[in-house]
């Protein structure tokens, strides 16, 4: 192995010699160092491994099937929770691509819907409400080909501080609705072997923090939902071209976390904008490719937290949870000051 590496580095050094001589003297000094060819070989090997990993991931996530070219005319996007926050931005961005968009929400839109977008009032935690609106959608637009389970809620406070109603609402909106929406709209995708189901999860899928326990539970459940759904589509229903994607953003500046972002510098964790998340989701829709998207991408190592020793996991959860304690203490001081 040592001989092979030395031999390859020698050949690489000889091959690069004419190119190196054209570079500035300072750069030449670095590249002509005896270790430089070996370092370049290692970097090239790592780059090759990375590209192979990406190719295998793409092949696996898409069940070995080729990705079809996007055709906005034959697609119909159904989006839950599209009247505010990330959902509102997705409606605006999707409409710019020329695709038809159907918005389901329990609240009316407070903005002018773009051309090609239609709103229906529906309670996505009720199968009866979903079935009723589904009939209207099919009659007016046809079967949805892209389903984005985006609607979500969250409440601040510890387990003992939250009411049972708030806890149940979080589970019903953030995870139970995914099952109900898929049960209603996935059969047509299976029949045509064409479609895309996108789950909006969170970085909370990978780490459970205090003060947001039920929210973390539902987002971990959303990840399990996505993983199991893929297997059923591929193995049970033989529909490998029904794509599935999941998106894990960190904190997003929406009304749901206003209590956190209002704290300014007291809240030290990074915050994305709805535009950032929407851009990633729309890109995933247009590529018609299955995948897992983590936002921002450099937080990807957090997705592997549960592979680390328990003591390190506990340390990481403690860091995040203590941020909430400090934030609540600051909020209490602000209230007393008023």
User: 3-state SS of 15-75?
Assistant: HHHHHHCCCCHHHHHHHCCCCHHHHHHHHHHHHHHHHHHHHHHHHHHCCCCCCCCCCHHHC
CA–CA separation, 111 vs 275, rounded Å? Answer: 16
Instruction: Confirm whether 219 is a catalytic residue.
Output: yes
Q: Is 234 exposed, middle or buried (0-12, 13-18, 19+ CB in 10 A)?
A: middle
Angle between helices 36-61 and 2-20 (to 10 degrees): 100
Answer yes or no: are the C-beta atoms of 270 and 260 closer than 8 Å.
no
> Which is catalytic among the residues 136, 219, 237, 336?
219
CA–CA separation, 49 vs 17, rounded Å? Answer: 26
Beta bridge partners, 195, equal 242
Name the percent of the chain in helix, strand, coil, to the closest 5: 60, 10, 30
> Which is catalytic among the residues 38, 96, 215, 268?
215
Q: What are the residue ranges of helices labelled H in 83-162?
A: 85-96, 127-141
Taken in order 182, 144, 230, 251, is the CA torsion positive or negative? negative
Phi, psi of 237 (to 5 degrees): -105, 0
> Any idea which residues carry the catalytic annotation?
215, 219
């Amino acid at each position: 192995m040592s001989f092979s590496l030395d031999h390859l580095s020698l050949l690489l050094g000889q091959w690069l010699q004419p190119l190196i001589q054209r570079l500035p003297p300072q750069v030449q000094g670095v590249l002509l160092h005896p270790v430089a060819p070996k370092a370049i070989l290692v970097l090239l090997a790592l780059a090759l491994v990375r590209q192979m990993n990406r190719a295998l991931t793409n092949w696996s996530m898409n069940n070995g099937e080729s990705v079809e070219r996007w055709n906005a005319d034959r697609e119909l996007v159904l989006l839950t929770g599209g009247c505010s926050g990330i959902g509102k931005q997705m409606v605006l961005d999707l409409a710019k691509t020329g695709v038809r968009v159907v918005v389901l929400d329990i609240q009316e839109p407070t903005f002018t819907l773009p051309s090609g977008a239609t709103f229906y009032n529906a309670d996505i935690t009720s199968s009866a409400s979903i079935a009723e609106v589904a009939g209207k959608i099919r009659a007016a637009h046809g079967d949805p080909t892209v389903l984005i389970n985006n609607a979500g809620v969250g409440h601040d406070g510890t387990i003992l501080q939250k009411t049972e109603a708030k806890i149940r609402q979080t589970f019903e909106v953030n995870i139970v609705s995914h099952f109900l929406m898929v049960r209603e709209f996935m059969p047509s995708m299976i029949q045509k072997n064409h479609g895309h189901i996108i789950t909006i999860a969170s970085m909370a899928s990978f780490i459970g923090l205090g003060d947001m326990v039920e929210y973390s539970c539902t987002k971990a459940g959303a990840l399990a939902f996505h993983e199991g759904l893929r297997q059923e589509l591929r193995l049970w229903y033989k529909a490998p071209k029904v794509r599935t994607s999941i998106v894990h953003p960190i904190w997003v500046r929406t009304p749901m976390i206003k209590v956190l972002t209002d704290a300014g510098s007291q809240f030290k964790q990074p915050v994305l904008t709805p535009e950032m998340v929407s851009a990633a989701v729309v890109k995933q829709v247009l590529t018609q490719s299955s995948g897992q998207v983590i936002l921002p991408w450099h937080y990807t190592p957090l997705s592997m937290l549960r592979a680390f020793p328990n003591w390190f996991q506990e340390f990481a959860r403690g860091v995040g949870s203590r941020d909430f304690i400090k934030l609540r203490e600051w909020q209490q001081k602000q209230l007393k000051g008023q």
